[in-house]
Structures are given as C-alpha cells and as structure tokens.
Structure 1
Amino acid sequence: MNETDFLKNFEQRMKCVGRYTVLCSNSFDKKLWKEYGIETRDEQMNMLFTLLLFIMEYSLREENCTMDEIAAFVGDISYEYFAHRLNFEQSRDFARFMVEDILGNGGSSMYFKAFDYEERTYKDINIRYIDNKVVYLDSGVRRTSYYLTDEGYNMVLATMEMENNLKLSIHEMLFKLHLEKADYNRAVDDIKNIFGQLRKQSQKIEEAILSVRRNALSYSVEEYGQLVEDNISTVVETREKFRLHRQFIDEKIGEFEEKQMNAEDFTAKEKDNLNNLRTIGRYLTRTLDEHQRILGQHFDLKKLYDEELENYSNMTLVQRFPFRSDVYDVILKDVSLLQNIDKVFNPLFIGQVNKIFNPEKMLEYQKKLKKSGTEDEDLELDFDEEAYSREKEQRRLERMKKYEGCVSTILEQLLKHRELTLETLNTGCDEEAWNRLLPTAEIFREVMIEFLTAGTIDIQALQREQTDYLMDASNGFVLNETLLSLMEDRKFRKIGKILIFPIEDGGHVHFKNVMDEFGNRRNFKCSNIGFRYEER
C-alpha cells in the first residue's frame, strides 16, 4: 500500500471545507454588518445560517422566496431575538446585503483552491450557495425567487449531527453498494469512515467512564441511557453484517490471488483492486476487534455506573462535593482566596508531636543491644524458578478448568432445553451445576461477554479451521478453543451451531451470593441473554 493512499480524493474533502471558508471570507471583511446591529463574527454566522435555513424551508416546500419574504423574516428575527429594531426599508437592505453581497458574492463566481495530491496541482472548486429564478405572482407582478443549490443543501444539512447508529448504517450501506459495484477504491474510504466512527464511539465510552469516576452525579441518566443505546445498536446491528463482508472480501482476495498466479496478463487495474481488497480486509478485521472492544467497555461502564450510584445511595448521610469544581476551579479564577489558607492548615499542627525524628541517628553504626545465643550462620537465599513456574502453571490450569466448567454447564443445559436464557440457567440448575456455572463472578462475566460477542458459533467451521491450520494454544481463556476441547466429548457432538442473542424485554437476571476473585460473596445483575443450538 502506498504511503499516501489516504490522500486520495483529498480535493473532495476540501470541497466541504471550502463551503465554510468562502462563506467566512465573504462575511468577515464586510463593515456594513454594524449598521444593522451585528458586532461580532459569531453574530454574523448565526444570522447567515438562520437566513439559509429560512430559504431552505421555502425551497423544500417549493414555494416562492422573494426578497419581500426574506426582508419580513429578517426584520422579525432582528427585533424578536436580537433586540434590533429595523424598519422595512432597513430590513430589505439588510436582507439584500446578506443574500446578494455575501451569499451571492455580488454576482461574481466563488472558487476555492483544493490541492489534488494525485495530479500534484491545485484545482478550482466552484462554490455556490443560492440561486434565483424569475417568477410571476398571482397579481402578474414579476419577482426574483431564491432557492438553495446542492452546495447550499449539503452545507446546511452537514451542520445537523445525525444519530451514531444512523451514521454507521449509512456508511455500511454505501460500503455494501461500492462492493457490489466492484468500486473497491471508494469502498476503502467507506470502511475507513466506518472504523473512524467506531473509534469515536469507543472514545465517547472512555470519556464517560472518566466522568463517572470523577463524579457519577454529574453524568446524567439521560446521557448514560443514550450512550448505552448507541453501544447496543452499534454492536448488535452491524457486527454480523461486517462478519459477512469479511467472508466476501476473503473470497474475492482468493479469486484475485489465484488469477494473479495462473494468468499471464494481470492488469494494473486488477493489481490495484487486489491491494484495495487487502486494505479493506485489514480494516474489517480492525472493525470487528473494535466491536468487541466497545462491548467490553459497555459492560465496564455499566458496572462502574451501577457501583458508583450504589455507593452514593449508601452514603446519603455523608456530604460530598466535587473538589475540582468547588475548590480547585474557584481558586484558579480568584487566587486571592489563598490569602487565609493558613487557617485551613493550622489545626494540623496544634497537636503535640510524641516523637522527634533525628536524621543524624540514621547515619550511626547500628550495634546489637543483646548478643545472640547462636553463632551467625550463613543464610543462603535461593529462588527456585522451576518451582515457581510449576506453581504458576498449576494456578493457570485450575483457572482454565473453571472456564471449561462454566462453558460445559451451559452446553449441558442447552442440550437439555434446546433453547434457554440466563434466567433459566440461574433458576434451573442444581447446586453442583450452579457452582460450576459461576465459579467466580469475573469468570462468568468474561464467558458471557465472549458468547455475546461471537453471536453465532459454527462448530463445524471451527473444527475445519483447526484441521487446516496449526495453532498454538493460548495461555488465557479463548472461547473457541474451549468449545473445540469440549466437543471431543461424545455427548456434545450433536451440536452443530450455537446462536447467542440478547433478550429485548428490558429485564435483568439477578445472581445472588456469588464469589468474586477475592473470596467475597456478592450479588450482581446482568442483562438477559438467550442461547439456541442447531444440530449437525
């Protein structure tokens, strides 16, 4: 892959930037704004976009938007919201100034120079926000009507942030469309945008976790609910789609590589397509990894938020306050508040100090107060690395046995019921099975996350993959390896495919008296999950 491939179609990106740059350039240098009560650049931009939205509203309704309508609107807005009283003539002049001088640039064409890295030169991009046409009113009077161009629509619509899950769906739809048309160059840009969207979602979760740790009460329930909804929709709705895309890309790469090996004439275009497909494959792998990361962060945030709110509810008698906002930020604004800081620290030094530390005593030679009854013996400290390694391996095997017991219990209950939920597992297991299902809260949580992340597990596909590739065993828990190991047991061999899905009933499963990694007994709850299997 070329090091500057990410700069392809750079001029298209700069076209979006140019819309705002040209508008700002046309507006900021005009001194006529002050005659209409507009003093700052912020006010200029707010008024211009207010006007653009007004014109867009008329354009969408396919109604005439003459200068009289615009002037009346500008006059009402200036008086009602900005406290600027303008008569009709002033409103008309103000409207004409914004429409003709700024948005229309006095009738002159507007251009923005965007650099094209593929051709190594600047390209002139024409920018045009509004256009006009001649219309005849009911009275037969001839007027000029204004409407938004495509550039104007794109700029105004881009200012409204759409929901994250809708953005992801749109990018995925474009990605699929470009794959179907074999336009792999554009598909590379699409998958990069998708990965960037997922990385942005992951960063939002990290910021939320940090905010909750600082002060859970400053993070509203509405914000938490919206973020949780975005997380679930991001992972559940798109993971399976991207897994299928990954399979499709692998097949296409195989076709191109086979053609490259066997065909004498492998064109430059086909070579570019193969390189683009490999780039798409790498980003799809990173996208699926990002899905799993978001899911893990989702559970971390959920656990942290529950714990913090529970801690606050248990400490209702303790008055707490955010030190950063109530103390630190206040002092930074007014440093004179530190004038009496000594009164805060004085109580720390009122008490009588019992002992005084003498640094000179540190440097004196230390003598024994009492002679030892036995002669000094040479003490040899030996670290038995081999014994330590054996002990460490033993601990790892014991932990892996717990993972295996948890997964095995789920499979046994799945064979018994064919379809079950976490609620069924919680209430339907006997004591022995329940203890194997929940050896510790952390192990059970990790197993559930792995199952939910996988979504659908094809046992036969895993076994074929194990046959085709020689893989080293992992030191930690890997769900696929554990399942393959358990499938050697005859009682599990009828399972061909396992399907895992969230139960959308809004309920939670409550597990009580479960031991954690530190030996404490705890109660916890988690969202309900369903399991179903298909026979071979």
Structure 2
Amino acid sequence: MEPKDFLKNFDKRMKCVGRYAVLCGNSFDKKTWKEYGIETKDEQMNMLFTLLLYIMEYSLKEEDCTIDDIALFLEDISFEYYNRKISFDKSRDFARFMVEEVLGNAGNSMYFKVFRYETKSYGEVNIRYIDNKVVYQDGGVKRTSYFLTEEGYNMVLATMEMENNLKLTVHEMLFKLHLEKADYNKAVEDIKNVFGQLRKQSQKIQEAVHAVKRNALSYSIEEYRQLVEENISTVVETREKFNMHREFIEEKIKEFEEKEMNAQDFTAKEKENLNSLRVIGRYLTGTLDEHQKILGQHFDLKKLYDYELENYSNMTMVQRFPFRSGIYDKILKDAALLINADRILNPLFIGQTDKIFNPEKMLEFQKKLKKSEVPEEETQLDFDANAYNLEREQKHRERMKKYEDSVRVLMYELSERREMDLKDLSTQLSMESREKLIPTAQIFREIIIEFLTAGEIHLHALRKEQEGYLMDTSEGFVLNEMLLTVTEEAALKKINTIYIEPCEEVPPVYFKDVKDEQGNIKNIKCSNVKFRCEEGQ
C-alpha cells in the first residue's frame, strides 16, 4: 500500500522537527541552568537561540568566534537585558556549558529517529548545530573558533517559517519591494537574509565534500543531483538580479552623497538612509562573491565525486584473497617459500605515492597524549621548537612588513598625484621606492590583484566600521586592514575613496630586475592599472 500523498517526504519534515526536539532534550533536564539564574524552559530556549544568532553573525562574516568572545557577549546581555550581573569567569563557564554541553552534547553524536512511510521503517538522522576549527590569534596563540553547520543555519533560518526552496526567492522579492518603497532599513535585513541563505548553501557544499571524501558510496546520487540543481538555480536565477540591484544602489548612494554635499538641510533620516544604502552595497558585493564561490565549489564537488566513484569502480576489479591463510600460514609451514616474498611485496611499490603522504613524518619523535606516571629519562633533542616558532614568526613579520611598505609607497604616490597608473610608477620612481613597491614579483602581483578585485574602496566607511567593534588582526595579508594601518599616517589620512580600474587598451608595463621569492632576478610584464583617489573628511 502506497502512503498517502500528504505523508510523502514525512522523514524530511520530521528532520526539521528533530532539530528542535534534540535541542530541547539536551537542555530541559539539565540543572546547571539554575546556577546562572535561568529557571524556566522558556528562558533556556530564548538564551540558546540568542547564542545561535550570535554565532551565526560571526559565521556570516567569517570571523573567529571563541569562547571568550561568547563569554563577553553573555556578560553584556545578561546585565543589560536580563538584569543579571555575572562575572567574566562565570560567563565563560556559562558559555562552555551552552556550547559544549547543550549544543555540542558533551562531544557525543546526536541522532533523531524519523519514520519513513515509503519503507515502513524508522531511520536515524544526525543532528549537529555547531562545529569548531582551530585558529591562531594574538601572535600564534592556538584557539578554538565555533561556527554554524548546515543544520544550525537551517534551524535558525527556519524560524522564518518558510519552505527551504522558496526562501532565497522570497527574500529577494521582499528586498526588491522594500527598495522600491525606499524602506532601506528593512531592505538591510532582507539582504542579510539573502546572504545567509547563500552562505548556508556554501556550507552545504562543503559538508557534501567532506562526506564524499569520507565515503563516496554513502553520499547518494539523489543527494548529489538535488545539490547540483540547487547550485545551478542559485547562481543562474539570482546573479543577474543582484547585479542590477547593485547598480541601482550605487546610483542611489551617489544621489544621496551629492545631496549631502550640496544641500544645507540634509536630514537625520536621509543620513540614516545613506548609511543603510552603504551597508546594502557591501552585502550585495558579498552576495555576488558568494555566487562565484558557490560556482567554484560546485565544480570542485563534481570533480571530486567523479574521481572518488571512479576509484571505487576500479577497486571492484581488484582480485582479493585472505593474506593470513593464503600467505602467512603457508610460510609458517615452509620457510623456504620466503625466497619468493619479493613477488608479493613488489606490487606495493609500483603505484604512485599519494601526495599527502610525507615520509618524514614516519621518523618524527612521537609525543604521548597522556603523561606517564613513571617519570622518564630526559632526552636531549636537536630540534628546538621555541627557536623554530620564533624564527617562523620573525619571517612572517618581515613578509608582512614588505606588504605594508609596498602599499605605503602606492598610497603616498597616489596622495601626491591624485591619479596615476603603473606605467607612471615604472618610469618615475626612484630605485629605493621601486624596491619597496616591488619587494618580490609575487607580493606585488598579489597586492595589485587585491586592488583590482576591490575596484572601489571607501576608507571612511572602513574606519567607521572599525570604530564600531574591535577587529582581530588577520594572520595573512588583507588589503582593507593594511590600508587602515597605512592611512593612519597624517599625510594619508585625507584620502577618502580609492578607485582602481584596468587599462585594457594600453600596452602592458615592464618592470626590470625584479626579485622573485627565491631571490632570482627577472623582468616582469603586467597589465597597466589606473589608480584614482578622492579626498575628504
């Protein structure tokens, strides 16, 4: 008997229910809540979803979210909104309790049984709200950062009570409607929701990649087909719309900026609208970048899935036999058979070694995870870990200094000329300035690519955004952070906006006697790029 139409895909519906059921089950029976002044189940749920929204905000911005960050947040909202004053140490314990014990289930896997009417049986679905990764902060200090999984995004975004396949379209429609009505505050929330949907799609592809790497056969063809269709529809149907939205927003920003400069009575409401438009512009740029990221991930997943399935199909053609009974037992009976052992071992060395295999790791000193109760004799090692780390940090600082010097030369030249291109720099710079501008061909290339990718940089907006919250310094080169550092100098602080565009019809520029990363001297050729800046307060 076929199940009723309304019971089809019942297991998918119950998976949505399971996200809440598992969370409630993990939370309601724990007495620890009372230690932090939370007495009722309602308060528990409100606090957990407050925390999930906080983690999602950091996940969307791809910023680190450590236990200390969460503890500071909990300390602030507990005092400001719930009238509960708790110390930072207690807030950190509270954060660990919610993250590790409730959301993480003390490290144990969480499952929910869903009934499948098509097969008349129960099946288990895995529920996981957050995941973590190791990050390095404050000069290489190892920390744990938390972020939402696909399940976490689904649960938080599903509180909007909307079907998954309609969310992106509906949010885009609402965004367009609010733009037409000039309700820019609501449009900001709409574009954030759109960006969250795209980030969730990206997270879903990443988790699919991990599943395929673990076991390609456990990832069904149907799951792969659905994900591919979602990826294509996400990129094809919405990219052109958001390009049009961005052009519209850019025009509106120009209108407001011109009115701000020329009108004497620029109202507070108009100023608020201008700020909202700038936020929308940044999110639209991030949305288009996310489209490109999803497209790249789509092709990476396709390539990986094809490769893994091909490997499995090749494995089925290999003839297998029991090593113990076929070889080991026979050699024990007749040791003279060892003379032919090379015929068995030779095939092990014919195939290409996997690229991720590192033979040096075989010879490394193995550290014990748990200290022995019996003290061992001290061993003198030739390798000094502290010296190695200090040397590595020193090299990193020197490399970042090269990036900074190169950007500083660009900014000083741009500040003096107001408009220039790479051809001007190749012929008019002194030898000392040119060496700072191009410390190596690779560093110079990376800086120019970052400028071209940005296209337009509003330093005033970046400074204002930096004032709003404490920004963690990135480990590698980030153009916006470097510009904020360099333009703090008095001579450069007047620069407000930088425009960068390629000069496609102009011949390429040549730089002679440039070093590469290995110290070799080369001549490099690159496309000409034009820089222009505007000054203001």
Q: TM-score, normalised by structure 1?
A: 0.35
Q: TM-score, normalised by structure 2?
A: 0.35
Query: Which protein has the larger Cα radius of gyration, Structure 1 or Structure 2?
Result: 1
